[in-house]
Amino acid sequence: MNPLELTYWDNCSIYELERTKVKSITQQEWVLKHENIKCALSATKQPRSAQTESENQIIADYTLFINDSVEVKAGSKIVCNGHDLRAGKPLVYKGSHQEIPCYFEERA
């Protein structure tokens, strides 16, 4: 265990979109790749909103700290602390950890 992981208090699950074919119909679905991974989720900016006449869009930015041995692709769905996040391009520090910029977007 990496000593940095001692500071991780959260757990997450990581999903990737995969194409599946059912009766000649190709569709995409989220497939679980990693489950119950120790991590730390940190808010990088205050949530912001964009109000239009028909909806209110809420956007928040986070950074996910996770072991560098876990493969996370940009665009993956990460479920952590009840948030459905989308992963950006990971910054990998070999032998230590990786920092994954994430965003949360919700329409209210």
Every domain of the chain and the residues it spans:
3-11+38-107
Please choose, from the candidates 42, 49, 56, 58, the residue with its C-alpha nearest in 3D space to the C-alpha of residue 102. Answer: 42
Residue 24 neighbours by CB under 8 Å, 6+ apart: none
Assessment of whether the complete model's pTM goes beyond 0.75: yes
CATH 2.40.10.370 fits domain 3-11+38-107: yes
33: part of which helix (H) or strand (E)?
Answer: strand 25-43
pLDDT band of residue 92 (cuts 50, 70, 90) is: very high
72-85, pLDDT tens digit by residue? Answer: 999 999 999 888 99
